[in-house]
Structure 1
């Protein structure tokens, strides 16, 4: 059952998938429609999940479900992965590659490959204060409070020591 994302409780479980490219405006509208259709039908053991999804910044697919109503199961997680793999094929993108790190700089989202982090830090391109999209956030309440935060306050802090 589709629930508007802002109506998910703070403890709702979320998953964030980052595209390796920004989608066009047309693609973003299509993808948002597909996300809403998927979560409307998303279920666990035959029970509808109270779920939502959104495309943020034309790059991040966020799926969420209220675990207090119906907890997701292995099969429901598998179906979401299948859905995301279809998006990857349809839009020629990668949503499961965790080696591309997203930073906010001058109002834009810049991607730095994990292997390039030491050089980006050494050159000053990325600092401990550079806003980083922490896609490890796992609850809806954390999306607003903890998704974008200074890189030095995330698992990337090791690069600034």
Structure 2
């Protein structure tokens, strides 16, 4: 069952899918409808299932489900199949979690790790640059550790 994202507990499981580009304004409403429909139908047979989504910065698709949801491999496969479908429809990359997403001024950049290391060497990004840790596991981690300076993330090994 779809619930408001804010109503989920801090322990709720999250999955972050960074897009290789920002979704265009004309795509947002349709994308949100598709995300809502997916969450509504996901585990529809489980009356106690609570899940939600957020579209952050028009760039990150974030799903969340209460920790006690008893998700099976088939449930996760269903989510990944949906994401693959979105990739094809919108011509974006959503499953490559090894690319680096970071803030550069008011913009969010999406670079492969090699290019990110080059930017660090050229001092185009610094230890204070805000990066997105798309490997966070819970809603609490999302709220507290998703957007952090490089020094507070696993990317600090590149400094």
For normalisation by structure 1, the TM-score amounts to 0.92
Q: How does 1:103-118 map to 2 (within 5 A)?
A: 103-118=102-117
Residue deviations 1:101-135 (CA, integer Å, cap 9, x gap): 11112111122221112221111111111000110
In the alignment, the residues of structure 1 paired with residue 97 and residue 8 of structure 2 have an alpha-carbon distance, to the nearest angstrom, of 26
1:121 aligns with 2:104: no
Q: Secondary structure in 2 aligned to 1:126?
A: coil
CA RMSD of aligned residues (A): 1.3
8 Å contact from structure 1 (residues 31, 55) kept in 2: no
User: Could you tell me which residue of structure 2 aligns to residue 91 of structure 1?
Assistant: 90
Instruction: Tell me whether 47-56 or 129-138 shows the greater mean CA deviation.
Output: 47-56
Q: How many matched pairs? A: 158
8 Å contact from structure 1 (residues 2, 36) kept in 2: yes
User: Could you tell me which residue of structure 1 aligns to residue 58 of structure 2?
Assistant: 58
In the alignment, the residues of structure 2 paired with residue 155 and residue 10 of structure 1 have an alpha-carbon distance, to the nearest angstrom, of 21
User: Could you tell me which residue of structure 1 aligns to residue 9 of structure 2?
Assistant: 9
Residue deviations 1:20-57 (CA, integer Å, cap 9, x gap): 1111112122111111111111118x425310012111
For normalisation by structure 2, the TM-score amounts to 0.94
Instruction: Flag structure 1 segments of 5+ consecutive residues without an equivalent.
Output: none
| 1:99 Cα offset (Å) | 3.5
Q: Which runs of 4+ in 1 moved over 6 A?
A: none
Instruction: Flag structure 2 segments of 5+ consecutive residues without an equivalent.
Output: none
In the alignment, the residues of structure 1 paired with residue 87 and residue 116 of structure 2 have an alpha-carbon distance, to the nearest angstrom, of 26
